[in-house]
Structure 1
């Protein structure tokens, strides 16, 4: 009896190891923190798509847990025999609709025509991300298939540019942005080489000063100096339309701003103007 139990233990151990070996070795994102990841020049940045994570193994689509995805044959026909990572996606704010399409075991051709595969990596443990980006960009361009898309990566010189891009994406309904460490090689599991920055929280503050604009904003508002109920004072320089810069909220008014957590000094991170609170 002991011998049988031992053999069963060995069998199930080997079987479990075999299953784990077949699971896709995906890279998972850590959370962006300005205090830790303060040199934005080291990263390539792209939109975070609110889709279904899909790994193309070279033969089929699987989820990051290794479960098969069943698109129509025409959808996968253009894809090459290489490892790709990306998101199945329709459009912003449509995750529940997309999820229903992808979960169906017998694919609906008509519904799958609304789906694109947004490729954001071509995993290779020996190649840094900036080269992997060029590799998948070149590959997808050659495929010339309308439903297979290469996710565009951007490089910024400072956090202000990152903030502006983040605001642009989220204002249009995007889920957030992803930051890839340009020199990092692919590794499985959670990694600080891949970071996610998602939408802001919001709060209110009192306008205490108008700071003048420079460059293209000369003669207009550059930033608002504001103070929170807790007495924290800081400046907000993004999120304004040109009209709002010409006629900014008056000193003494209450504005709503959005932000993403706090810096180590207790200041709202990536603070951006949202709206002026209506007068009561």
Structure 2
């Protein structure tokens, strides 16, 4: 909630623009339905629901993050090459890098309008920056997936650490208890793999949703707008006239569904999806 209070001059989530667009579209929709309204929700309520969404994502990722931190330390102790250690550090700091991509004074202002001498030369457009940001997130996801073997091997080495620790302790231990202790580490490996992969899958799917629903592009040049009007829907227009006269009820139902889908499309715009999905990616 404290992050959502920060103005758009510092965080580029598009909260103000998305909320304004959502309120105006919802009010127009209600007016067409013959209802009077000052807006669906207030700005405070809108931010409150966003804070709850991000809090749930953060709570879901708390324990996997702690587990990743422990595996990161163990993997660093096992790594002998400098390149591997550097990749491990980049992988561990990847969430911080992704959050900084939405901080305008740190990334966007310096990349899009760097100050070269007395002049400010723009290096890329805003659409290109959004595309580069999506590609960076995907590359960080690929890096984390590539280093999965190192982290899982670091966890499996806990069995050897437990055995070495028991050798230093006084007293005796049966072979059966020793086997159970080692097997417990291997049996828990599937849970560790799930804790490692689940946040990665959630982040990857959220990024793909941000690209699709947020109307972004994978290339440098912006794609043409593929949004179609309600009149261009495949179930409307001339197709209705080709239906048999005995299917009047079906025609009315299809028309109502088409109009409802078109109205919802005007409310849930790409600007609104960019707000929710950008917050979700940053929280992940």
Same-fold status (TM-score > 0.5):
no
Counting helix residues as a fraction of each chain, which structure ranks higher? 2
- Give the structure with the larger strand fraction: 1
Q: Name the structure, 1 or 2, with higher relative contact order (CA <8 Å, separation 6+).
A: 2
Mark the structure with the bigger radius of gyration.
2
TM-score by length of structure 2 reads 0.27
Give the TM-score normalised by structure 1.
0.27
